[in-house]
Amino acid sequence: MSSQVSTSKGSHPPGKLGTFESPHTWQLSAPTGQTEAGSSDDQEIRLLSVSWNQDFGCFAAGTSNGFRIFNCDPFKETFRRDLKSGGFGIVEMLFRCNILALVGGGSNAHYPPNKVMIWDDHRSHCIGEFAFRSDVRAVKLGKDYIVIVLERKIYVYNFTDLKLLHQIETQSNPKGLCCLSHHSNTSVLACPGVHQGHVRVEHFGLKVTRMISAHDSHISCMALTMDGLLLATASMKGTLIRIFNTVDGTRLQEVRRGLDKADIYSIALSPNVQWLAVSSDKGTVHIFSLRVRVAGEDASNEQRSLEGPWMDHQNSSSSIDPLIQTNTGSNASSSLSFMKGILPKYFSSEWSFAQFHLPEVTRYIVAFGAQNTVMMVGLDGSFYRCSFDQVNGGQMLQKEYFRFIKADLTPLRTSPP
């Protein structure tokens, strides 16, 4: 077996969890080494990673000398840990509680890159430690699972006792692509399959595995809805985004980002499953209107039987009814779309509904906020909040901009209300 797991004696995830709500809540004792709160010079700090928490209300920033936690609305730094002893390439939150998954990163890594530490910051000690023979590419946390992604294998552990539950083989996955649902009634994981362009979907609650042939080329980015019943994917070409039903694997919709090849950085699906956002190395964030449904009105009894009580009492994308019938916006399409099947495929494509052009060309992750807003976090230490017109679309309006890598979080630029 290529992994080793060690736990602190009697230390399992605590029943009562604290939250990263206030910078004064926690003692500033480091996992190892000495902490110097507030004493670091931001000019010497390098940002190594940014990642959302499960409800997109916070994000974590791994730096060359520690990590920081930020609240999104209102935007503020809620917690930081500056260390002399090194940096973190992966910082994964568990909603807003005090449990973090940490992996060392940078030239002066705090932990080796083949080791995952599950850290309880409230009690200032390690709950569990996972060591592997190769570098860790990603970590995903859920209320029941710890998912650790290596280049060709994914390990799924029980969060309560840290026992190994599943080992999943994948194609080469240097980006650490993996998604985990975060709904109380569903447990869904999506990851690259063993064949090029395929996505493997595990419905743990149903004990069902689906293989989806999503693209002809390698998968470059993917995202699940909160309940895990819809999947959005992009390939290495980066021109098309496809949306699938994870229950039966059917393709529901296809939208076009552009004609030129692009590296897709991030895909986000709105909580109400009406919108999809995409960021790429082209420097533009695109918003698309979704018009998908999980199962058609003529869904078979067999399909409904498969869904069974697991589909009951759910909202958003888990409903059997059409999902996006109240959405007033629609994606742009070519005036020659009536010649579908005669002209090249892009003439009949659905193009983005709204756009925002970022002034800096850097890697951004995106997420939806409240009241038709989109948040963007960049590896240059920038945070944007923009709004879009749900009826007319077009260019998004910048509402806020922060340079969060600096100690002073006063907005540098804010658009008029």
- What is the bridge-based pairing of β-strands 75-82 and 66-72? antiparallel
- Report the length, in residues, of the chain: 417
Partners of 164 in beta bridges = 157
Any idea which residue has 């240097």 for tokens? 174
pLDDT for 329 equals: 61
Residue 10 is predicted with a pLDDT of 38
Report pLDDT for 331. 58
Diameter of the chain measured on Cα atoms: 68
Cite the beta strand spans of 150-218 per DSSP E.
Answer: 153-158, 164-169, 179-180, 188-192, 198-203, 208-213
Low pLDDT (below 70) residues in the chain: 1-43, 293-348, 360, 406-417
pLDDT at 390: 92
**Residue 36, SS3?**
coil
pLDDT of residue 292: 76
Find out whether the peptide bond into 74 is cis, omega within 30 degrees of 0: yes
Classify the C-alpha dihedral 370-47-68-156 as positive or negative. positive
Round to whole Å and give the CA distance between 178 and 347: 32
Nearest Cα residue to 73 out of 374, 382, 369: 369
